[in-house]
A and B are shown apart, each in its own frame.
Chain A
């Protein structure tokens, strides 16, 4: 009996004839349990309920969705274990261009038409590879980074690891990046590039540099990737993120706008676009995009309280306080209870403006925490705006100082200056800026402790 008899297959294709064809092939290689998914939502629903062993997914899924987007979403929601097999099925050679460039790839892809024998050959190989990496996957899932790296290191020098040399190097670089060792990750990606100029490895260098806040270096690396592989959309997202960190919000919005047009149902990208638009002062776009995300990203659990806060933020930006209040008050009680401090602070700050009666007491209650805690850039900007509006100079200036001293100073600079100007306090803002700059110079000039 075939070893595929015990495996649960899921065939994802929007065309009935092609679905039947894939089922026939799967049955020919011995599969008994073959389930169908007819579209994107259906596929996610089935995978969420019962993870299949082997997924055969057509690249073209209709309604502006692709198998690649499905794969990205599955990884994003952690619905696909490393042990499951994801095989992209495609009639187009162009998918090969995608696989050769992007960071997030399926286990393999196969070009139609293909015989049952060929599918078996491909699946056998993937199973052998999964077996080889079995222990590594377990450590990776537990986030035991040191143990995962130790396994990869041993495999890298083993005879059995020779056919997976690049895969080992690639996994190693990813683990280093995820474990927070951005410098190690950068070196790992550069090592791969010495072998070949893979776009995903160059993007990895840019990502590692971005994490180290070496923005202009990161920018020049990612510019190379985007210029040479325009179909590598994640690289465009990364470039936009780097642009935002550099304070170049108009360019970030332009990049994301171009890519989002090509991927109309990618709501993660739309969130990023809304963020760029907000920073760029394009409140109309930010409002429209966030409303679209909140209304249409139908993945269960996909629309988070942070999304509603982003929508409310854009509505406050647009001075549509009634809508902002409605958005904020619409948050469920259960969601409210689970907000972290960043989200609580943003909520209170936005509510203090859109619904002062309800918002001000909440905002006042959080003030001690706002004066002392480490907060995210977006939250600090929200607090800064409300504090200025309420005439709480000490609170506003504290946020401005923290933002200017932080690593994301360039990202938030334009928005801060605008708020201070709105309240006629440009000179005060310049003074805070000067103090922070002087402090930085002192710090840089201070003699380094000898080694």
Chain B
């Protein structure tokens, strides 16, 4: 236990980054997007999963970037990669079923892990247009597991997302729009779905049978009751297994001294 950092030594971004890194196992094939997920996956590569295969959807495959890329199309992604090509390869690899894990984000998430990155409000008359889907629905459709990293606010943890950009455990069957379990809809291409949500309040997982999100661990200082109050849906807190493990001193060293010394994605905590 003594290897864990004390509360004043790390910030929320460090905690999220380490929790995200621990979702990957060695030798897995992983898709990561721009931002905190990049640091998380490179942290896993430096610690417990040195043989993970990292894919950036812009075209760099099995990457070992020597310096933190600032986006997935960055020239830094190519250095040390097994293959530098393009999106036809990365998404074909994903559809073919090679990908174990994907890191994603979103503006809104619902009880079933459906995520919205497209717009706020009615799609036909939006209040705000966001970036759009990007590869979010693709990675979520193709990977065996996906991990969402989210800011936890009540307006973001909703009963129904304004627009279902990325498929969770219960989804709409078109053209009619009936709600079905994703295993019914995906047929032979069903491989899994969202496995964890790491928010700024806690870590959440899904019951694969009913497709419902439940609270797994609370971040230090948060209680299950507080977190339940931060969700518009009725969050199951009965399976809460305690507190999210804090970063270790070794993990903090890799984040701040090796991977992101310039604080591009992860700010440093000021020493008291």
A and B bind: no
B-binding residues in A (CB < 8 A): none
Q: Which B residues lie at the A interface, using CB under 8 A?
A: none
